[in-house]
Amino acid sequence: MMHVLFRCDATDGGGIGHLVRVVSVAGAAVNAGHSVCVAGDIQSPLARQLVEEAQLTVVPAPGDLGALAAEHGASIVHVDDYTVGNEALEQVRAAGALLSSMEDGSYGRRDADLVVDSTIGAEFTERGRAPRGRVLRGIAYAPMRPQVLAARHKREHDFTPSPVPRALIVMGGTDATGAAATIAGLCADLSRNIELTVIAPKRHWEAISEAAVGVKMLDPTPAFLDIAATMDVVISAAGTSAWELACIGVPTLLVAVVDNQKAGYAAAIEAEIASGLGTLEEIRTNLDQAAARLAEFIAALDAGEVSTRQATAKVDGRGADRIVQAWSDAFDERYAAARGSDVAHGAGAAVTVRDATMDDCLHLLRWRNDPATRAVSRSTEAIGLDSHAPWLERTLQRDDRELLIVEFEGRPVGMVRFDAEDAAWEISINMAPESRGRGFARKALSEAEQLFFRRHPGTSIVAFIRADNAASAGLFDRAGYVPWPDRNEPEFGAFLKSDPS
């Protein structure tokens, strides 16, 4: 299990499309056994509702992603935000974590260990390789929330077309451009009678009412997907919701509301997963032409000539699972040389130990703040960089403490610490979450003990192990530690090992 930190904002000005994707990937991460949190500015009411329903913890997002990863114990930082720059990769790597990055064509492009561009057709265009990273491109990686798949199932089994077409207008969670009123006006001018519902913030309701009489208006809601599944047609902004509607299988007319939607809009139409009404600028410039396109689409819908087979086939809803699996694959590649039996059985020289330096500050803090590590530690609270860095500086100057970094082929993968006590030195060991289960701990303990006993001959080591920490109990038992009941503490058993020489 690893901890995943998602970097994302959701504001009235910027919309909630990035957060919708984050919620989807976070759900897949939790299903895969990982823990998650979101770092960002979550402002809009719908965004806060989405976060609450997904049970996501939200934390502040300072500028340095490496420090953020360390303070939250994250092995993976997944960025879905256009404002984060190219410095993110080196920041995250300074903490030993993996940077995963979402981009939309040229928007949000940055170096990363793993780059995901889930726009349709992206795999057929030139992007350029992410330096030292892997690139996943195409609609197969479009993250879909569980609610999308539930709505898809509902439509497949329960949908019945209406004699009077039911149309839904949704121009994003915030409708920052006021597009819903424009589209509602087009629908009101149709000669064909339709039953119109508009999902938009209340601040736009007056304008929508003026543009179209008798419209049912709803606040932005996570139930949007369930509503969409019952519709004969949805007119949508060409953002994240476009791919959700394609996955559900509802006939869709797209509007490219802002510039960063234009590429996805064009690709969706070319792939025949939706039809196009135009860009918002084009529609407002030539309302008659847009009205004609809308009337033509409704006529085709009446004639049974609008199909969603291409859409449901190409957007299968498994994109978030593929992204999460790619994280695991990336760490498997990082530690590929550890797959053999040498490391797992404690042989070979791939695992080494060395004295810690201040350059290890972020690594040590990240390993220490990992939620699984804190759960079995004496102190379960996370600590900040402002207190950790001075602690490390003092530690490196002490004679009664040995702090060692475990490395695998030159890459830090854990730490071993010895603290002088009255009768024995207390040992602590902590491996990087992403390196656990790869056979490192046993070899790391052996290497650290050998170095320690060379420096402190004739001494003994005591390990305090929480009663429910079976993994640590097994590790120290195999290393020759024996129970020391006289030194047991509440919730912790004591185990002793003396210098074998």
Per-residue model confidence as pLDDT tens digits over 43-89: 888 899 999 999 999 999 888 999 999 999 999 999 999 999 999 99
Predicted confidence at residue 423, as pLDDT, reads 87
Q: Is pLDDT of 486 > 60?
A: yes
Per-residue model confidence as pLDDT tens digits over 293-325: 999 999 999 999 999 999 999 999 999 999 999
Q: Virtual CA dihedral for 207, 209, 211, 217, nearest 10 degrees?
A: 100
The H-or-E segment that residue 280 falls in is: helix 280-285
CATH number for the domain including 10? Answer: 3.40.50.11190
Give me the residue label for tokens 């491996």. 431
Mean pLDDT of the chain: 92
Tell me: do 289 and 392 sit in the same domain: no
Of 306, 331, 356, which residue constitutes the final position of a domain? 331
CATH number for the domain including 156? Answer: 3.40.50.2000
CATH number for the domain including 466? Answer: 3.40.630.30
Q: CA 368 → CA 356, 372, 376, 415, distances in Å?
A: 15, 9, 11, 10
What's the CA gap between 271 and 121, in Å, rounded? Answer: 8
Q: Is pLDDT of 337 > 90?
A: no
Residue with more model confidence, 14 or 267: 267
Other Cβ atoms within 10 Å of 156 Cβ, number:
12
Q: Which residues contact 60 (CB under 8 A, 6 or more apart)?
A: 39
Q: How many residues does the chain have?
A: 501
DSSP sequence for 192-223: S--EEEEE--GGGHHHHHHHSTT-EEE---TT
Greatest mean pLDDT among 138-142, 236-240, 246-250, 256-260 lies in 246-250
Sort strands 411-420 and 216-218 into parallel, antiparallel or unpaired: unpaired
Tell me: do 204 and 81 sit in the same domain: no
Predicted confidence at residue 338, as pLDDT, reads 66
Tell me: do 101 and 34 sit in the same domain: yes
Of 300, 331, 362, which residue constitutes the final position of a domain? 331
Tell me: do 442 and 309 sit in the same domain: no
Tell me: do 303 and 161 sit in the same domain: yes
Q: Is pLDDT of 355 > 90?
A: yes
Tell me: do 22 and 40 sit in the same domain: yes
Tell me: do 96 and 137 sit in the same domain: yes
Per-residue model confidence as pLDDT tens digits over 435-477: 999 989 999 999 999 999 999 999 999 999 998 889 899 999 9
Structure token pair of residue 205: 């309701």
What's the CA gap between 194 and 186, in Å, rounded? Answer: 12
What's the CA gap between 96 and 433, in Å, rounded? Answer: 11
Q: Is pLDDT of 125 > 90?
A: no
Domain that holds residue 98: 3-144+318-331
The H-or-E segment that residue 185 falls in is: helix 179-188
What's the CA gap between 361 and 66, in Å, rounded? Answer: 11
Closest residue by Cα to residue 66 from 303, 289, 365, 381: 365
- Sort residue 175 into left (φ over 0), alpha (ψ -120 to 50) or beta: left
Tell me: do 459 and 483 sit in the same domain: yes
Q: Virtual CA dihedral for 84, 126, 264, 201, nearest 10 degrees?
A: 0
Tell me: do 111 and 126 sit in the same domain: yes
Tell me: do 70 and 204 sit in the same domain: no
Q: How confident is the model at residue 346 (pLDDT cuts 50, 70, 90)?
A: very low
Q: Is pLDDT of 12 > 80?
A: no
Predicted confidence at residue 269, as pLDDT, reads 92
**Structural domain count, the chain:** 3
Of 314, 349, 364, which residue constitutes the final position of a domain? 314
Q: What is the CA radius of gyration of the chain?
A: 28
Other Cβ atoms within 10 Å of 37 Cβ, number:
17
Per-residue model confidence as pLDDT tens digits over 224-253: 899 999 999 999 999 888 889 999 999 999
Tell me: do 450 and 378 sit in the same domain: yes
Mean pLDDT score, 323-332:
96
99 with 72: CB under 8 angstroms?
A: no
Tell me: do 165 and 308 sit in the same domain: yes
